[in-house]
Amino acid sequence: MFNSRLRSLIRKEFIQITRDARTLILVLVIPVMQLLLLGYAATNDVRNIPLAVFDQDRGSAARALLDAYRAADYFRLAYDVDSEADLRTLIDNGDARAGLIIPPDYSATIQGGGSAQVIFVLDGSDPTVASTALNASILIGQAHATQVMQSRLERSGLSAAFTPPVEVRTSVWYNPDLISAHFMIPGVIGMILYALTSILTATAIVRERERGTIEQLIVTPIRPWELVVGKLLPYVVLAFLNVLEVLALGHWWFGVPIRGDIWLILAMSGLFLLSSLGTGLFASTIANTQQEAMLSVWMMLLPSIFLAGFFFPLEAMPKVLQWISYIFPLRYYLAIIRSLMLKGVGLAAVQSEVLALAAFGIIIMTAAALRFRKRLD
């Protein structure tokens, strides 16, 4: 399949990779670190929010309300204070993220058939935690109010007549436990493919130019396309090893499902490699040093990570940024890999993303290869 010149160049590149400790660390260690970091730390799962309680009632109805908060997985009743000032101090210091103030006549009002008010205060400095805590507190209050109303009707013998006018039954598909890692880890594959392959490709070619060895290759009978393939192919192999590494660790360690066809996942990853390898090849043509090559890649990579839906949902972005996101191949790959892994869909369900990804890959790789050949001339 490969002639002797191309085989020699590929073998030379693999030897350089194994001898370069920095490259080996990037290839073997960084994917695992990214997986663990994003799998555990980068999560939107808000649980066990420390709650300070100022209970001025201490009655049975107040205890029932606190039991409702305690039963929910969102709050941890961490502090029982004796004054509103103590509650404020705990929130100011960051020891508590929310507070619940129960008035002195709460139990008497509830048991007397009246309507009582409690105060839920919240630290809004972190909007992610605050919005989750606020919604959870509202739902807990509504559910508890329904239970109180039901018990009142039972005591009056009217419980059979009490039927909620609307009942919403929810069903969560694909990620029923709403685990953030199941959403993040498929994206890690895209980030690793994009970052590592483009950085390694760019620095490998620039390193040859710094050492003067690329000029030696040019004067040999090797053709320009053989030089491109010989430099890129080893990193294609390493990229697929990284994909398999992240898939295995994500599945067995974090329990991320792989519902789609594994061969289709690998095929789509290979299609995305056209864009990432092309980015690295293009960066190598505009950089004179390895540092410049890495900086060039990161200048292309960072906007893609933030605007492709890796960290933030595309729907939450302003319309202008949503339009800009269409120029980044990572956007399409993330949509594909998440659909394949989490939903288990086939190629037909993501065909528009596949066509866009293929178009971007061909354009980027062709432009980079032409510029690389011109740089050689």
Task: Give pLDDT tens digits for 223-282.
Answer: 767 777 777 888 888 888 888 888 998 899 888 999 999 999 999 999 999 999 999 888
Distance (Å, whole) CA 302 – CA 345: 29
Task: Give pLDDT tens digits for 11-22.
Answer: 877 777 777 777
Check pLDDT > 70 for residue 160: no
Task: Give pLDDT tens digits for 181-216.
Answer: 888 888 888 888 888 888 888 888 888 777 777 666
Phi/psi at 50 (5° precision): -65, 125
Q: Residue 165 has what pLDDT?
A: 65
Cα R_g (the chain), whole angstroms: 29
Q: Where are the domains of the chain?
A: 4-42+179-376, 49-161
Element holding 160 (H helix, E strand): none
Domain 49-161: CATH class, spelled out: alpha beta
Residues in the chain: 377
Element holding 212 (H helix, E strand): none
What separation, in Å, do the N-terminal and C-terminal C-alpha atoms of the chain show? Answer: 27
Distance (Å, whole) CA 173 – CA 167: 19
